[in-house]
């Protein structure tokens, strides 16, 4: 999920200690499982999933219809990423929404999936974060050039 901010950067998050990849920086998002009960697993379903993940992980509300299919990546271990582009929001709003969400989760005795957010504008910004998802430099680079990721 690409969540751009108004100055052209992208929101990235660091996975908390509660996740399978603690400390790893990546885009907000998650794995989509095919629906049960005969529902279609199509682009509309993936858009809804992307909007739900954005809300659950960083607290930003976005209409699924406003999600644009942006690109597909294949990770080092064969995993496929279908990336959607959300409408840009002010960085301060996204960071504040995440802070509120994380505080609410901690108050319930849970922890946030992403324990920290950052805004990156370039591959250099990604490399300065430390351990990151293998697809992240490619996505940030292509986003910065106005190209979709298809690798």
Ordered DSSP codes for 25-41: EE-S--PPPPPSTT---
pLDDT at 58 over 90: yes
Task: Categorize the per-residue pLDDT at 141 as very low, low, confident or very high, splitting at 50, 70 and 90.
Answer: very high
d(CA 50, CA 92): 21
Give the predicted TM-score (pTM) of the model: 0.90
SS3 133: coil
- pLDDT value for 70: 94
pLDDT at 65 over 60: yes
Ordered structural domains, the chain, with CATH: 10-144 (3.90.79.10)
């Amino acid at each position: 999920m690409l969540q751009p901010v108004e100055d052209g950067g992208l929101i990235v998050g660091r996975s908390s200690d509660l996740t399978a990849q603690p400390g790893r920086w990546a885009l907000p998002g998650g794995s989509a499982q095919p629906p049960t009960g005969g529902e279609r697993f199509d682009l509309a379903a993936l858009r809804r999933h992307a909007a739900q993940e954005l809300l659950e992980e960083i607290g930003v509300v976005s209409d699924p219809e406003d999600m644009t299919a942006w690109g597909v990546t294949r990770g080092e271990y064969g995993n496929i990423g279908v990336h959607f582009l959300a409408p840009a929001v002010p960085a301060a709003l996204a960071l504040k929404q995440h802070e509120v969400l994380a505080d609410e989760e901690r108050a319930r005795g849970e922890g946030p999936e992403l324990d920290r957010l950052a805004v990156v504008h370039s591959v250099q910004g990604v490399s300065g974060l430390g351990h990151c998802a293998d697809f992240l430099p490619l996505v940030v680079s292509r986003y910065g050039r106005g190209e979709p990721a298809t690798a």
